[in-house]
């Protein structure tokens, strides 16, 4: 059900300024921290003595100390002390998982540790690169991660789910503009849609600074199993496309459990980089938008559980990109089930400068 041989986001890098964090990933409770030497560590959040979560204890130097009888474990999972005795029992250790910091995120590999090549981390460099400003946040969604993939690959839902934010209640629906869907290297799906000469919805009026008519386009890009990027471009109709305001919205999904997903997101833009008020305005607007998705997704999950079924039921044209992504995922799950050492190198989400996406059109 989960792809294991892949890098998932375990958290934002700045979260590791805390002594430790506890988080369930792929249904495994973990305690994660950064040592004083800058080494990142993720280990089972469970003392091998009497099962108490290590996160209920405390950080002592670069070790985690259990809060019940005081056994200590270092960043590599080894037991370093047992109160009341000098020898360390062989069984006294906890499992650890490869962890790497990159692009402002900390990534974790829950599969075969021998395959955890940092070169396989998806390139989402815009998140902390010069030339881009980032508004970021986190939502915990009580839904299977594939429902979020579906949602992010069919942006026509904006008309109905986000009518008060990024959708536009007054003109054509987004579905009226056909999306061109392409698949690359058995692991990437793109759905690109052009929306010329439309009334700017509230979110984009904020971006531009005033109500106006705009040319808008959007690409929904999905990397199996759960990395998503929305490229959003707009410019007033009277301006040139090269002047477009481009936003890259990263939606980095990490399965928490079969019924819940960590949703780390960042809206990065190439304009008004130093406008802190805009950064905060985009953060708030994005957060409100994802609140709306959260509501729909969690209801959908409850319906699936209640009816003991999986979606979809009736196929419509808008499902093309989500359906292709689901097929790639099934294929990948099958490969990994057959070969626990199966690994895929992720293709780039977009060429270096996302304008290239436009040129493809």
Assess 72 for contact with ligand FES (CB under 6 A). no
**x/- contact string, 30-49, with its own copies (CB under 8 A)?**
----------------x-xx
Q: DSSP 3-state assignment of 136?
A: strand
Place of tokens 């109500």: 211
Query: Which residue in 25, 30, 66, 249 binds ligand FES (CB under 6 A)?
Result: 66
Q: Encoding tokens for residue 248? A: 């890259």
Write the CA distances from 63 to 17, 176, 348, integer angstroms.
15, 57, 37
CB-count burial class (<10 Å; 0-12, 13-18, 19+) for 219:
buried
Assess 83 for contact with its own copies (CB under 8 A). yes
d(CA 221, CA 360): 14
Write the CA distances from 200 to 107, 166, 237, integer angstroms.
37, 9, 10
Residues 146-185, interacting with its own copies (CB under 8 A): 150, 154, 156-157, 159-161, 173, 175-176, 178
- Give the binding-site size for its own copies (rule: CB under 8 A): 49
Query: Which residue in 3, 47, 143, 188 binds ligand FES (CB under 6 A)?
Result: 47
Q: Which of ligand FES, its own copies, none has residue 53 at its interface (CB below 5 to 8 Å by kind)? A: its own copies
Assess 71 for contact with ligand FES (CB under 6 A). yes
**Pairing label, strands 188-199, 213-223:** antiparallel
> Which ranges of the chain would DSSP assign to H, the alpha helix?
145-153, 158-161, 202-208, 276-307, 320-338, 355-360
Query: Which residue in 36, 37, 85, 242 binds its own copies (CB under 8 A)?
Result: 85
Assess 125 for contact with ligand FES (CB under 6 A). no
Between 93 and 335, name the residue whose CB sits nearer to its own copies.
93
Tell me how crowded residue 139 is: count the other CB atoms within 10 A of its CB: 18
Q: How far is the CB of 52 from its own copies (least distance, A)?
A: 6
Q: How far is the CB of 307 from its own copies (least distance, A)?
A: 7
- What phi and psi values does residue 23 have, to the nearest 5 degrees? -155, 140
Between 89 and 348, name the residue whose CB sits nearer to its own copies.
89
Q: How far is the CB of 73 from ligand FES (least distance, A)?
A: 9
Residues 256-315, interacting with its own copies (CB under 8 A): 296, 299-300, 303-304, 307, 309, 311-315
Query: Which residue in 4, 24, 59, 69 binds ligand FES (CB under 6 A)?
Result: 69
DSSP 8-state secondary structure symbol assigned to residue 203? H
Question: Of the ranges 29-37, 69-77, 167-175, 182-190, which one interacts with ligand FES (CB under 6 A)?
Answer: 69-77
Is there a contact between 194 and 214 (Cβ–Cβ < 8 Å)? no
Assess 58 for contact with ligand FES (CB under 6 A). no
Q: Encoding tokens for residue 146? A: 């594939």
Write the CA distances from 50 to 45, 60, 67, 173, integer angstroms.
12, 20, 11, 57
Q: How far is the CB of 91 from ligand FES (least distance, A)?
A: 13
Q: DSSP 3-state assignment of 242?
A: helix
Between 50 and 140, name the residue whose CB sits nearer to ligand FES.
50
Query: Which residue in 14, 19, 39, 50 binds ligand FES (CB under 6 A)?
Result: 50
d(CA 293, CA 320): 20
Q: How far is the CB of 28 from ligand FES (least distance, A)?
A: 18
Q: Which of its own copies, ligand FES, none has residue 211 at its interface (CB below 5 to 8 Å by kind)? A: none
Q: Which of ligand FES, its own copies, none has residue 311 at its interface (CB below 5 to 8 Å by kind)? A: its own copies
Assess 233 for contact with its own copies (CB under 8 A). no
Q: Encoding tokens for residue 256? A: 């928490």
Dihedral sign (CA 307, 314, 263, 77): positive
List residues binding ligand FES (CB under 6 A): 47, 49-50, 52, 66, 68-71
């Amino acid at each position: 059900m989960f792809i294991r041989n892949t890098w998932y986001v375990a958290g934002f890098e700045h979260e590791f300024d805390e002594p430790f964090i506890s988080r369930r990933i792929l249904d495994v409770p973990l305690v994660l921290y950064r040592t004083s030497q800058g080494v990142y560590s993720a280990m089972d959040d469970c003392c091998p003595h009497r099962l108490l979560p290590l996160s209920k204890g405390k950080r002592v130097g670069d070790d985690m100390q259990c809060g019940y009888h005081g056994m200590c474990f270092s960043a590599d999972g080894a037991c370093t002390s047992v109160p009341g005795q000098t020898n360390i029992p062989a069984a006294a250790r906890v499992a650890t998982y490869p962890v790497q910091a990159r692009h402002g995120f900390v990534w974790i590999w829950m599969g075969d540790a021998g395959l955890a090549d940092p070169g396989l981390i998806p390139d989402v460099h815009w998140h902390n690169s010069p030339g881009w400003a980032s508004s970021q946040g986190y939502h915990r969604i009580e839904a299977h991660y594939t429902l979020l993939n579906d949602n992010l690959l069919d942006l026509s839902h904006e008309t109905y789910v986000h009518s008060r934010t990024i959708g536009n209640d007054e003109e054509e629906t987004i579905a009226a503009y056909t999306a061109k869907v392409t698949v690359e290297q058995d692991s990437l799906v793109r759905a690109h849609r052009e929306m010329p000469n439309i009334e700017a919805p509230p979110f984009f009026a904020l971006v531009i600074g005033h109500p106006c008519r705009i040319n808008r386009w959007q690409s929904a890009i999905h990397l199996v199993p759960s990395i998503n990027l929305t490229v959003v471009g707009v410019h007033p109709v009277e301006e040139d496309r090269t002047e477009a305001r481009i936003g890259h919205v990263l939606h980095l999904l990490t399965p928490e459990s079969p019924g819940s997903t960590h949703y780390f997101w960042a809206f990065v833009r190439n304009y008004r980089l130093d406008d802190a008020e805009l950064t905060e305005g985009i953060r708030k607007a994005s957060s409100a938008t994802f609140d709306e998705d959260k509501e729909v997704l969690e209801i959908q999950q409850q319906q699936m559980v209640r009816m003991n079924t999986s979606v979809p039921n009736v196929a419509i044209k808008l499902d093309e990109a989500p359906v292709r992504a689901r097929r790639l995922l099934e294929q990948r799950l099958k490969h990994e089930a057959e070969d626990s050492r199966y690994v895929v190198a992720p293709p780039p989400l977009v060429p270096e400068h996302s304008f290239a996406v436009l040129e493809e059109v």
